[in-house]
Structure 1
Amino acid sequence: MNTRIARRRTLGAGLAALVLTGGLVACGGGEGGSGGAGSGTYTMWDPYPQFDDTSAWVKLLKDCGTKAGVTVKRTGYDTSDLTNKAMLAAQQGNAPDVLIIDNPVVSSLAEAGVLTTTEDVKIDTSAIDTNLLGAGQMDGKTYGVPIGANTLALYYNKDVLKKAGVDIASVKDWPSLNAALAKVKGAGKKGITFSAVGTEEGSFQFLPWFWGSGAALTKMDSPQAVAAVSLWTDWLKKGYAPNSVINNTQTTSWQEFATGDYAFAENGTWQLANAKKAGFDYGIIPIPGVNGGTAPAPTGGEFVTVPVQKQTGRYATSLKLMECLTSTDNLFATDNTLSYVAPTAAVQAKQVAANPDLKVWVDAVKAAKGRTGDNLGTKYPKISEQMWTAVQAALSGKASPQDALTKAQTAAANAQ
């Protein structure tokens, strides 16, 4: 996982505090407000500071502005800085015209009154996968559209599995995965590595197993949730996974897999380039649910949103900019650059045609769900913090899975 995405995973519970202390009422008219609607300068903020003015991304933004008949003034910020600056700009009445923001942040900004709805802007969302759109929905309203998505799956080392006598086609559910890990250990190799670090990154990696058990975030101490935590704790007890997972980030977890000693690694689309450089044959399968099928994994990625403006006539041009950025041709180029799966079936088909390795990722994204979905909104960061705390307690042996999750459910309920 690259640094930009790693930072994006660690927003944590601070979002809720930011919203609660902000008391925001967005009423401004953007930095480009001096220009009339449909003319002048339109501001766009994004979380891609690694792209400079010579990059294809910035050239696309400026080209979209030209096609809309305006000049685009673009600023790239670190993800955490962008959230804070967007909140402050809304307070001061100079929010950007278009804001590209990490999808878990959308509900926080929406609740704070910073964002318009897709109905306000009148953008057509019918072609976008509904599960991806769900990350930007709250109380029946949609705030922006996804520019792309990434998620998690299982990378596997073909040579390690072959020497252990494991047919990857047999790995379809939790029991068959456990059986494969037992064979790998018996063959003298290492089983599986992942990230269980005590941050949002750890929750992000645990969610496929949590949701794959049938558990819901509103009931963290359910039997299904206990089964998910027990799966991970059993892996450590049996030596299928290393104790290092407790502190592993997704980057350090990948580094363990890249040694060639592990059969499996849970990681994301952003590691595809590194996988090709690993020096051994690898494959990818979806994370299995407890009884089979593809477990819902959380979606990563950004939404293109339009902050509230005092001059509502500006929305018509902001719509043109959004439509340009999310057009089929532009999404294909942009999502390949960002290592994202596109949010529409048409572009996904183009991606798979160009790179068949993406097929498993498209399937995983289609089964994925937003962390703030199910109308959790700004409740999610509080739930997530208690979830990663419970997982850490169970993995370290400080509490049983049941006791850790019971405490987590109580703490999350009291925090809301």
Structure 2
Amino acid sequence: MRRNRVLAAVAAGLLLTGALTACSATGEGGPVTVKLLQFQEARADVVKDLIPEFEKAMAKKGRPVKVDLVTDILTDDQFRTKITQQFYSGTAPDVVDMGGSNVTGMAGAGYLLKLDTYLRTWDGWDEYYPSVKKGARQRDGSYYSVPHEASVQSLFYRKDVLQRLGIDTAQPRTWNELIARLKKVRAKTGEAPLVIPAGTAWGGGSWTEGLLPIVAGTGSTLYDEKSGKWKLRSKGLSATFDLYADLVEADLLPVRDLHNPNPWEPTKYEKFPQGTLPVAAQGSWGWKYDWGPEGAAPIKNSREKIGTWDYPALVPGTEPAPISGGGFGYSVNADAAHPDAAVELAKWLSSGKALARQLTAVGAVSPRAGLADTAPYSNEPSLLQAEGKLKSSIQPPLGDGEDRVSQAVQSATAKILAGEADGSQAADAFAEEAEQLLGSTRVAE
């Protein structure tokens, strides 16, 4: 029964593409109310200040809307569990701000409003970068969220440290070239010079910030969008697991730290700021959350001391490339009483000064062109530089079951860290566990 109601709501949302009126869907006068959920404090704080501006803007247009902000601070896992329960029970809010990995499953379950018609008639959609659109598009070819941020995965490095050690800081063309440099650093300092999230302690980061950006640049298909199946064995995956094994064998990864319950603390929050571990795989949010003035481990004059490399080529025939990372987007409940108002809120928050303030607050990259001169985002040169890479970045295709693939990646890389498997053995272990967790119907032959 619920599925029929959801489909009916989606159909209704597609038909209601005219101007938003001051009347509710039931014909009652006065402002309509839209409930918006934020589950991260930094995002909630900035949106709280923006809501009155949205309400005033809508009132001036003769379309009064009241926004009820629900702030429920949760971890990613807690949020996923709770919002799924709310959608299932029919108590979910009208608009939900969440990462793209959550959108896939919820859209597939029929919980989210299809936004294609709304986006096609919105001039702002034309300003979005192709890699962002590709990342937001679901398997059925449709969109169920309005992206309001993006990220770029890179290898961050301490320019000051490497220059002091006499190490080349130019973009490494291949991983072999970079490994040769890292071995020189190791010989001079006696410390592991590189951190890439790996193992079980880092959780999902071992997938999204660890293996995924590396394998994405190999040209091998990991997830086939047309069939909706995962390809668990490929030249790219084999090369990536071999790379992990090579890094561990050469003592270039801080294995002991990666076994720490919070492995980001001794690596990204202590050794990278100290300069004893000068290279770290990281997303563009690191400029703000990790090493910025108000970050977890501030580095004074970080823009002068830190540089970024694109991921080097790992297999023949490929080139160094930045990797597009995920970002949050506003999704609309398929059962929203006022879908037009809900979408209007999502679009407004993803535009102009409102977007610039959110991006600056969370250290995210703009998913669309046109904000380079909009304060306060225009005052963030590191984010503007990262945004420039979106035009040439690689967007890894991801699909339903990503959490299970992540679990298998964590287990396989943990075996390498523990010395229990070489690259080939880890690749086999990954493929076997991922297939077991996904089920054979979601695995390509």
Quick check: TM above 0.5?
Answer: yes
Partner of 1:113: 110
Q: Sequence identity, in percent?
A: 21
Which of the numbers 263, 267, 285 marks the counterpart of 1:253?
A: 267
Name whichever of 217-226 and 383-392 sits farther off. 217-226
Distance (Å, rounded) in 1 between the aligned partners of 2:377 and 2:65: 34
Partner of 2:238: 226
Partner of 1:57: 47
Partner of 1:40: 32
Distance (Å, rounded) in 2 between the aligned partners of 1:244 and 1:405: 22
Q: CA deviation at 1:379?
A: 2.4
Name whichever of 214-223 and 261-270 sits farther off. 214-223
- AA paired with 1:99? V
Q: CA deviation at 1:264?
A: 0.9
Q: SS in structure 1 opposite 2:400?
A: helix
- Structure 2 length normalisation: TM-score? 0.77
- AA paired with 1:396? A
Name whichever of 209-218 and 397-406 sits farther off. 209-218
Partner of 1:15: none
Q: SS in structure 1 opposite 2:150?
A: coil
Partner of 1:200: 204
Which of the numbers 313, 331, 341 marks the counterpart of 1:305?
A: 331
Partner of 2:347: 323
Distance (Å, rounded) in 2 between the aligned partners of 1:64 and 1:382: 39
Distance (Å, rounded) in 2 between the aligned partners of 1:61 and 1:197: 41
CA contact (8 A) 1:299 1:368 kept: no
Q: SS in structure 2 opposite 1:347?
A: coil
- AA paired with 1:135? G
Could you say if the C-alpha distance between residues 247 and 73 of structure 1 is closer, same or farther in structure 2, counting changes exceeding 3 Å? Answer: same
Distance (Å, rounded) in 2 between the aligned partners of 1:405 and 1:112: 31
- AA paired with 2:286? Q
Deviations 1:99-149 (A, max 9, x none): 111110000110111001112545633221222223332221111111102
Q: SS in structure 1 opposite 2:157?
A: strand
- AA paired with 2:219? G
Q: CA deviation at 1:359?
A: 4.3
Could you say if the C-alpha distance between residues 298 and 356 of structure 1 is closer, same or farther in structure 2, counting changes exceeding 3 Å? Answer: closer
Partner of 1:237: 249
Partner of 1:10: none
Partner of 2:149: 148
Could you say if the C-alpha distance between residues 87 and 132 of structure 1 is closer, same or farther in structure 2, counting changes exceeding 3 Å? Answer: same
Runs of 5+ unmatched residues, structure 2:
10-23, 59-63, 223-229, 293-297, 440-445
Q: SS in structure 1 opposite 2:357?
A: helix
Distance (Å, rounded) in 1 between the aligned partners of 2:336 and 2:380: 44
Partner of 1:275: 291
Distance (Å, rounded) in 2 between the aligned partners of 1:60 and 1:26: 32
Distance (Å, rounded) in 2 between the aligned partners of 1:63 and 1:153: 35
Deviations 1:4-34 (A, max 9, x none): xxxxxxxxxxxxxxxxxxx9776499xx988
Could you say if the C-alpha distance between residues 153 and 35 of structure 1 is closer, same or farther in structure 2, counting changes exceeding 3 Å? Answer: farther
Runs of 5+ unmatched residues, structure 1:
1-22
- Structure 1 length normalisation: TM-score? 0.82
CA contact (8 A) 1:286 1:295 kept: yes
CA RMSD between the two structures: 3.0
CA contact (8 A) 1:209 1:295 kept: no
